[in-house]
Amino acid sequence: MDTLTLIGATGTPLPPVFHARHLIAGRFCDSADGAVLERVSPAHGTVVSRAAKGATAEVDAAVSAARAAFAGWAATSGKARAAILLRVADLIEANVERMTLLECLETGKPITQARGEVSGSADLWRYAAALARTQKGDSHNTLGPDMLGVVLKEPRGVVSVITPWNFPIWILSQKLPFALAAGCTCVVKPSELTPSTTAMLGELLGEAGLPAGVVNIVLGLGQPVGARMVSHPEVDMVTFTGSSAVGRAIAAEAGKSLKKVALELGGKNPQVIFPDADLESAADAVTFGIYFNAGECCNSGSRIIVHADIAEAFVARVVALSRKVAFGDPLHPDTQVGAIVTPEHRSKIDAHVRAAEQAGARVVLGGAPLQVQGLSGQFYAPTVVTGVTADMAIAREEVFGPVLSVLTFRTLDEAIELANDAAYGLSAGVWSENVHTCLAFGQRVRAGTVWTNTWMDGFPEVTFGGMKQSGLGREIGSYGLEEFLEVKSLVMRVGRTRAPWVKAI
């Protein structure tokens, strides 16, 4: 490990423990039974936040508050909704440093990355504000001289919003402002591992003038809080980001009452590198794609499919770049990869690597837990695994860590077959200077997002979501707003022109 780039403990003093509370009907409160959950920083091994631990009583109260607030919020003009969303965006930017520090400490991600996510999330709120003023339906005036058809788009109602630990404020901002722009009211549950920035956002919503009850926040575990948010009869829709296993369980439970479900789930995302690609740029993007957020990212470029003629040289380039990526204390501004979220998850990552070795793959870099000087938290080394075949678990299962699997191909058809040979279909990438190659790949690969000669560029305007077991529905962009809208047709007769159906005898 001595050839890796490691950044030891900075010795930066940690802030006081943050106390996160529920937000129900406009009031912040602790749990009725006083229960709390403590979050230990995965990098520093010390308690950084203490959150109220909710139960079904808190969920029921939050749903009741959201239901009571729905009619008023749904009737609010798009202009008024947009004004509040814009104020939220301004307040996020005014509180970037406060939110960034807790995001860094709870997730283990580098502080520079956390800062970019918190500040960048404001743009999602601003884009959703624009959509609040531009949503519209359709009209049909060609149905006959005495008929007019109007298609309306109305808010779905009360939405349960359940978010994960890997991008707490960013993923919440891919959902919540769009639901609010549509006129829905919400109950939000962040991961119990990363509750603080969601609770902080709750403070900002009130400061921005959002009416009480429009957004409610319940902290706690998936059982019972998340489960009750899915099964509650007064909830009209559930939007969830997390594992495919949990997503399937949510879909099954929601199906009992035919709730609308939007799911953004896992990925095993391929990048295909052709011999004519800009290999320097491709290698840098592959390195970024696997180590960004320590690989704890549904869009992680966790498998590359490289043409056999260039595979050895390309992998050597990626390994060399991997050694230069700075792993270590998330509080250091130069750190690029921080800590793994929990000890249990680090063990799971390592188990995937050990299983790959037993299946015949070769670990050419890393493949072990990492010790960082002065820190007691959990880290994992940058890892590259070669000799991977399509039947191996490491080529098919989501590792969710800094582990890159390398497969090879000979023809375009073989590359596309390998890219599609997974249960997931979230994102994919292709690297080639030949536009025909890129277009053919983009059209034939089964993925919700296809990047060409780049990786993980995202914009609020461009919708996001997966195929197959990567999920249902779409987020952000205008399609992200549509998820929270119900379509209603009004068919109107102009004047009393309808011929009687019942004939006089």
The set of catalytic residues is 264, 298
**Other C-beta atoms lying within 10 Å of the C-beta of residue 278:** 14
For 191, counting Cβ atoms within 10 Å of its Cβ (0-12 exposed, 13-18 middle, 19+ buried), the class is buried
Q: Cα separation of 197 and 201, whole Å?
A: 6
DSSP state of 293: G
Burial class (CB in 10 A: 0-12, 13-18, 19+), 76: middle
| Nearest in space to 159 (alpha carbons), one of 40, 239, 59 | 239
Question: Please, what is the angle between helix 96-107 and helix 78-94, to 10°?
Answer: 70
Residue type, 185: T
Q: Are 52 and 220 in contact (CB under 8 A)?
A: yes
| 2 CA to centre of own chain | 34
End-to-end CA distance of the chain: 97
d(CA 170, CA 307): 35
**Per-residue H/E/C for 102-169:** HHHHHHCCCHHHHHHHHHHHHHHHHHHHHHHCCCCCEEECCCCCCEEEEEEEEECCEEEEECCCCCHH
- Spatial CA neighbour of 294 closest among 46, 3, 43, 40: 43
Find the helix or strand (DSSP H, E) in which 485 lies: strand 485-493
Both tokens assigned to 160:
């349960």
- The conformational region for residue 148 under phi > 0 = left, psi -120 to 50 = alpha, else beta, is beta
Instruction: Report residue 39: phi and psi, to 5°.
Output: -110, 125
Alpha-carbon gap, residue 415 to 423, rounded angstroms: 16
Pair of tokens at residue 419: 């890219």
Q: List, in order, residues 6 or more apart from 280 with CB less than 8 Å away.
A: 317
